[in-house]
Amino acid sequence: SEDLPLKGKKILITAGPTYEAIDPVRFIGNHSSGKMGYAIARTAAELGAEVILISGPTNLGLDHKSVELIRVTSTHEMFVAANSYFEDTDVFIGAAAVADYRPKFVADKKIKKSGDSLSLELTKTEDILASLGEMKRNQKLIGFALETNNEEENARKKLKRKNLDFIVLNSLQDKGAGFKSETNKISIIYPDKKKDFDLKPKKEVALDILNEIIELLNA
Ligand code: PMT
């Protein structure tokens, strides 16, 4: 109906950071709070979608009858969960801040302090979005790009390399955008056009993104 434009649609969303273990007490992580991805999940459910939210470690919860919340810790766990639900989904939105590298070896005991320096060897994680981009059939695939420099150029490379329908660019150069804040300032980049949005609450940013998706689904 007019009121519930996402009724009957299945939307899979990733949110929050991933943690990559160094030893039993330490990890490599990042500053994502999950707010952006959770706002998209809640808004999509309010618009009628059935939502599966795969979340890295956050302090947030989401209680809505149409949202299934799946909690994971590492990139590998997020990758496995995303893959297992992808085939059956209409839309995938990658709002998580996923680690690109993880420690190659995870110490099974707490690493003791000893020398003046300590090196960790890192190895690449799975790129969740790129791998879904290869599997994609009719699904709409949406990514985020979090950039600090050469923003649009970097975002366009990710759009193409990961086979996305559009990419949401947020820049750490914009005040009030990106990690943790209640607001975000985005551009939505398509292969052939770009739309710039004002700084606004993440809930409203979520609606802007979902309106673009509704247009894609109705095209
Ligand atoms: O959680 P908040 O505090 O609200 O902050 C929101 C946010 C800044 C985390 C969010 O808006 C955002 O930008 N998320 C993506 C951050 C990111 O990891 O960007 P990226 O440019 O490194 O990755 C590009 C895209 O590929 C992203 O959709 C990412 O989810 C995906 N990716 C990246 C690496 C990887 N190994 N697998 C992936 O799927």
Q: Is the pLDDT of residue 31 over 90?
A: yes
Residue span of the structural domain in which 91 resides: 10-100+125-218
* Nearest-angstrom CA–CA distance, 204 and 182: 10
Q: Is the pLDDT of residue 181 over 70?
A: yes
Cβ of 89 below 6 Å from ligand 1: no
Neighbour count for residue 191 (Cβ, 10 Å): 11
Q: Is the pLDDT of residue 85 over 80?
A: yes
ipTM surpassing 0.90: yes
pLDDT, tens only, 114-139? 999 999 999 999 999 999 999 999 99
41 part of a folded domain: yes
105 part of a folded domain: no
pLDDT, tens only, 134-177? 999 999 999 999 999 999 999 999 999 999 999 999 989 899 99
Q: Return mean pLDDT, the chain.
A: 96
111 Cα: distance to centroid of ligand 1 (angstroms): 29
The CATH code of the domain that includes 161 is: 3.40.50.10300
111 part of a folded domain: no
Where does the pLDDT of residue 2 fall: very low under 50, low under 70, confident under 90, or very high at 90 and above? low
183 part of a folded domain: yes
Average confidence (pLDDT) over 195-209: 98
Average confidence (pLDDT) over 100-113: 96
| 218 noted as active-site residue | no
Number of domains making up the chain = 1
Full-model pTM: 0.97
155 part of a folded domain: yes
Q: Is the pLDDT of residue 203 over 90?
A: yes
43 part of a folded domain: yes
Q: Is the pLDDT of residue 1 over 60?
A: no
110 part of a folded domain: no
**In percent, how much of the chain has pLDDT > 70?**
99
16 part of a folded domain: yes
Please state, in angstroms and as integers, the Cα–Cα distance from residue 203 to each residue in 21, 33, 93, following that order. Answer: 32, 14, 15
Ligand 1 atom at minimum distance from 129 CA:
39
Where does the pLDDT of residue 30 fall: very low under 50, low under 70, confident under 90, or very high at 90 and above? very high
Residue 71 one-letter amino acid: R
pLDDT at 3: 80
Give the closest residue to 57 by CA, choosing from 87, 30, 95: 30
Angle, CA of 130, 46 and 30, to the nearest 5° = 40
Cβ of 20 below 6 Å from ligand 1: no
Please state, in angstroms and as integers, the Cα–Cα distance from residue 52 to each residue in 8, 71, 155, 207, 219, following that order. Answer: 13, 11, 25, 17, 24
Q: Whose CA is nearest to atom 31 of ligand 1?
A: 129
Cβ of 164 below 6 Å from ligand 1: no
